[in-house]
């Protein structure tokens, strides 16, 4: 699907790819529900921020993304990729992505806004920090308030996080969500999640 000139300008104005020099961290193993008790929230919230790569993208193939997505409230969705096959499937649903993650030492998170196009022309999401404890992440992202065009546009951020196994906490403008450890499952949060927007 071609990208409109306005969305192309928004992509160019969004924060550029944040390239940070990082020491590669190798990890292995499967994550389970037990990790939530093994990695307390306080440990995650007090961990030092870890470097990550960030790139704004446009979701161009919503039906392809949807099976991999978890709804965080009614306006934001989450998807992850930890293998080359998962990354290729995820990337196929997005506008061209410059970042090339090394999935032997990193994992990818997509955080997407389903609210439409901001009238202000600003990008709707900005990830401020990522914190890791034993490979499990707390991601803090700001959602832009204001007026949106209800045009079914899905704007997103791709995050490449070295050393990450899985996200345990996603914080969106101060509200915390605890994603399931498998795609498409119901999400837990401090408030009951809003049903996904019809598309």
Spatial contact of 77 and 124, defined as CB atoms under 8 Å apart:
no
**HEC sequence for 48-79:** CECCCEEEEEEECCHHHHHHHCEEECCCEEEE
Question: pLDDT band at 193, cuts 50/70/90?
Answer: very low
pLDDT of residue 180 exceeding 90, the answer is: no
Q: Of 75, 93, 103, whose CA–CA distance to 193 is shortest? A: 75
pLDDT of residue 185 exceeding 90, the answer is: no
pLDDT digits (tens, 9 = 90+) for 95-109: 999 999 999 999 999
For tokens 């707390």, what's the residue?
138
Q: Of 92, 108, 93, 78, whose CA–CA distance to 182 is shortest? A: 78
Task: Please state, in angstroms and rounded to a whole number, the distance separating the CA atoms of residues 78 and 169.
Answer: 11
Spatial contact of 47 and 139, defined as CB atoms under 8 Å apart:
no
DSSP string, 19-59: --------------TTHHHHS-HHHHHHSPB---EEEEEEB
pLDDT of residue 10: 58
Average model confidence (pLDDT) for the chain?
80
pLDDT of residue 81 exceeding 70, the answer is: yes
Beta bridge partners of 49: 131
Helix or strand (DSSP H, E) at 6: helix 5-13
Q: Which residue has the higher pLDDT, 4 or 52?
A: 52
pLDDT of residue 169 exceeding 70, the answer is: yes
Kindly give the pairing relationship between strand 155-162 and strand 148-149: unpaired
């Amino acid at each position: 699907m071609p990208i409109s000139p306005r969305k192309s300008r928004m992509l160019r104005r969004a924060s550029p790819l944040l390239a940070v020099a990082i020491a590669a961290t190798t990890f292995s193993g499967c994550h389970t529900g037990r990790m939530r008790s093994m990695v307390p929230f306080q440990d995650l919230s007090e961990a030092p921020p870890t470097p990550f790569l960030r790139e704004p993208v446009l979701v161009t193939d919503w039906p392809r993304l949807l099976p991999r997505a978890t709804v965080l409230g009614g306006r934001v969705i989450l998807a992850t990729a930890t293998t080359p096959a998962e990354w290729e499937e995820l990337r196929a649903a997005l506008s061209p992505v410059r970042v090339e993650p090394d999935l032997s030492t990193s994992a990818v998170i997509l955080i997407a806004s389903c609210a439409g196009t901001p009238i202000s022309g600003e990008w709707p999401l900005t990830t401020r920090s990522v914190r890791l404890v034993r490979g499990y992440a707390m991601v803090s992202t700001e959602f832009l308030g204001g007026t949106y065009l209800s045009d079914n546009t899905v704007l997103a951020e791709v995050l490449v996080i070295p050393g990450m196994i899985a996200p345990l906490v996603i914080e969106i403008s101060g509200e915390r969500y605890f994603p399931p450890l498998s795609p498409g499952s119901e999400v837990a949060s401090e408030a009951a999640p809003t049903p996904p927007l019809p598309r």
